[in-house]
Structure 1
Amino acid sequence: MYRARDHVENEAWLAEIQQAADRLELETAARSRAADLFLSTVSDADDPEDRSKRAVAAASLYAGSLIEGDQRSQQVVADAMDVSRLTIQQRWKSILKEAGLQPPSW
């Protein structure tokens, strides 16, 4: 769960997630899920240079699209968020676990 303050403090990151979702033509449910996942884990990603936040945002976008059945490849999401595919690969499962969801075993 996240606080309303987290939403306000991360407006720029949420906007970036939405812009990437626009480029990926994601459905509303996937966008909403990505924002929720990001806000739920962002407090664990305090980084003065915002590198961790970018990684969490990208992995949240990938995981949100996966959960909502509007999946895009890790590479396509990575390109849209300007991170490496490895960044998403290393983080998306832990984001799902933190949200109380079971990552797929494939």
Structure 2
Amino acid sequence: MYRAGDQVDQGEWLAELEAVAERLDLDAEARSTAQDLFLSQLPDEDRSKRAVLAASVYAAALLVGDQRAQTEVADAADVSRLSIQSRWKDLLDGAGFRTPDW
């Protein structure tokens, strides 16, 4: 869970998340879920935030059935596909979701 103040404190990153979601043409539910995932798993270091942001977008799209390929999300977020691949399952686990076995 995150504090309400985190939305204000992370405004720049949330704007970037929104820009990535816009590039991917994600629906409102996916965008909202991505924001919740990102804020609830927010890393302390700025250098890790872009990768967590991308993984949040990918995982949220998966959760709401608006799935995108890891490569597509990575390109939209300007990260490597490996950044998403190595984080998205842990991100979902940390948020209390059961991750697929595949």
Provide TM-score, normalisation by structure 1. 0.94
The alignment status of 1:87 with 2:89, answered yes or no, reads no
Distance across 2 between alignment mates of 1:37 and 1:14: 11
Identical residues among aligned pairs (%)? 60
Report what 1:20 is aligned to.
20
Distance across 2 between alignment mates of 1:52 and 1:9: 16
Counterpart of 2:44 in structure 1: which amino acid?
D
The alignment status of 1:46 with 2:68, answered yes or no, reads no
Q: Which runs of 5+ in 2 are unaligned?
A: none
Provide TM-score, normalisation by structure 2. 0.98
Q: Please, what is the CA RMSD of the aligned residues?
A: 0.6
- Matched residue pairs, number? 102
Report what 1:62 is aligned to.
58
Question: C-alpha deviations, 1:18-54, integer Å up to 9, x for none?
Answer: 1111110001100000000000000xx111xx22111
The alignment status of 1:2 with 2:2, answered yes or no, reads yes
**4+ residue runs of structure 1 moved beyond 6 angstroms?**
none
The alignment status of 1:35 with 2:31, answered yes or no, reads no
Question: C-alpha deviations, 1:71-104, integer Å up to 9, x for none?
Answer: 0000000000000000000000000000000011
Distance across 2 between alignment mates of 1:96 and 1:19: 22
